[in-house]
Amino acid sequence: MTAFDLSPPDDARRRQLVEALDEDARRVLLAHGTEAPFCGAFLDNRREGTYTCGLCGLPLFRSSAKFDSGTGWPSFFAPLDPAHIRYVRDLSHGMVRIEETCARCGSHLGHVFPDGPPPTGERHCLNSVALGFVADGEPLPDLLGRGAPEGKPLA
């Protein structure tokens, strides 16, 4: 069970968070868009830390689960906590894919595919613009003003 509050932001806070997004982030997070490959800010990020939802700040993936998939998007073999991700069948673009959304705010993150490395065999292929990053030792964002455990570093 997650230690993080997965209740969605109230309407007023959601409006504030959305207003703070740039156009690309809105297109991806809110309209289920995709950023161009090989250009995202986190594609080559090698720092140790936690990747968070770009809208609500929920911790999603640890850098220790990141790998170079060669696809042009940041890829991870496992989420930090499976409860932090929701999976939705996506039939767009003439194919069947599994979309990943933030379990707290519903923002589009990317897709998961069954062609990743051990131990999971999963490739969580995410848009950099849909993510935030918190370096190890830095406090996690408390974007919803709900207090702990956000605001504390992850162990």
Question: pTM of the prediction?
Answer: 0.91
Domain boundaries, the chain: 11-135
Looking at every residue in the chain, the average pLDDT score rounds to 91
Spell out the residues 6+ positions from residue 94 whose beta carbon is closer than 8 angstroms to its own: none
* Range with lowest mean pLDDT among 18-32, 47-61, 84-98, 121-135: 84-98
Q: How far apart are CA 76 and CA 62, in angstroms?
A: 8
Q: How far apart are CA 61 and CA 69, in angstroms?
A: 16
What the block records as the tokens of 37 is: 């490959």
Task: Give the rounded percent of residues in the chain with a pLDDT score beyond 90.
Answer: 80
Active-site residue list: 125
Question: Using only C-alpha atoms, what is the Rg of the chain?
Answer: 15
Q: How far apart are CA 123 and CA 67, in angstroms?
A: 9
Sheet arrangement for strand 131-135: 59-62, 49-53, 131-135
- Domain 11-135 class in CATH: mainly beta
pLDDT at 1 over 60: no
pLDDT, one tens digit per residue, over 21-79 is: 999 999 999 999 999 999 999 999 999 999 999 999 999 999 999 999 999 999 999 99
